[in-house]
Copies of this chain bind each other. A is one copy, B any other.
Amino acid sequence: MSTSSRFDYNKTNDRAIINGEMKRQRQRSGASQPPASATPKRSRQRLRGLKTRRAILRKAVNLASLEGLEGLTIGRLASTLGISKSGLFAHFGSKEDLQCAIVDEAREVFIEKVVRPAHRFRGLGRLRILCENWLSYGKKRVFPGGCFFSAASLEFDDRPGRVRDQIVELMKQWLENLEQAARDAKAAGEIRREVDVRQLAFEIQALAMGANWSSRLFRDPGAFRSAGTAIFQRIEQAKEPMQPRK
């Protein structure tokens, strides 16, 4: 998996994302290197094509967050966007290509809203900011249908293929972000040495997704507050010695 397709906060910036996107586009078109004979005109055309592609994907990811990824055919997207199917086929060769590109777009939004702003913090500070950003991303409905990855995970858990593989890798990477922040916090003496960072990351993710579930299903305005209470209580407990059981 290439660096630019991961939830990676250390190596990701806007340039890397765009470079990664252009590299993937070249790979899809069968050219492993940019052609040496590329003229400025062709570069402008490519940039325009790239912008169109991104604009399509921004709308597609919002639609997929509402209606699911599997139901979003090229025909359905073309009719929603009011463009021709053949025009969409020029950008995405197959339904699977389109789905993978949508997951990639959702990843970039997630990095922008949740991961990158935590980059300048470390250890416990980063862990807290990652959690705060996730809750804010869910509450503000960055995607109109709620957390894209919560829905896509459950939609594709029994559909083997490239889309599922991509979702699995991104979710692993996100959990690894939480775990690494907790490991750094442990190394810095901010949380107890015996804290199981994998368990902590699992609980944070479960509670955050639970808020998304409750918010979307019950239209519950307090869902993210409930999850925040639970998550930050968990983090506080990681700082303190365990209380003996009665």
Contact = CB atoms under 8 A, between A and B. Distances in A.
Interface of A: 66-68, 70-71, 145-146, 150-151, 153-155, 157-158, 167-168, 171-172, 198-199, 202-203, 205-207, 209-211, 213-214, 216-218, 223, 226-227, 229-230, 236, 239-240, 243, 245-246
Nearest to A246: B240
B145 A158 contact: yes
Contact of A155 (B153, B155, B218, B236): B155
Q: How many copies make up the complex?
A: 2
A168 B219 CA distance: 10
Contacts of A157: 145-146, 213, 216-217
A57 to B, nearest CB: 20
A229 B66 CA distance: 33
13 contacts: A68-B70, A150-B154, A153-B216, A153-B217, A167-B217, A198-B226, A202-B210, A203-B230, A205-B210, A206-B211, A206-B214, A206-B227, A210-B210
Given A150-B213, A203-B230, 10 more contacts: A154-B155, A199-B229, A199-B230, A203-B210, A206-B209, A206-B210, A206-B211, A207-B210, A209-B210, A240-B246
